[in-house]
Amino acid sequence: MSKRACLTCGRLTTNGSRCTTCTNRNEAQRTRNRQTREPWRYTYRTPEWARARRQALARANHQCEVQGCTETRDLDVHHITPLRNGGHPTNQANLLVLCDNHHKQIEAATRKEQP
Q: In the 8-state DSSP scheme, what is residue 17?
A: S
50 shares its domain with 104? yes
With CA atoms as reference, report the closest residue to 103 among 77, 85, 82: 77
58 shares its domain with 89? yes
Distances from the Cα of 34 to the Cαs of 37, 41, 47, in angstroms? 5, 9, 20
Among the listed ranges 21-35, 49-63, 81-95, which one has the minimum average pLDDT value? 21-35
CA angle 82, 46, 64 (to 5 degrees): 50
55 shares its domain with 20? no
30 shares its domain with 9? yes
Range(s) of the domain holding residue 22: 4-37
**Looking at the DSSP assignment, which residues form a beta bridge with residue 4?**
13
52 shares its domain with 15? no
Integer Cα distance of 62 and 54 in angstroms: 9
Region 14-41: mean pLDDT is: 71
Number of domains present in the structure of the chain:
2
**For the ranges 17-21, 29-33, 51-55, the one whose mean pLDDT is highest:** 51-55
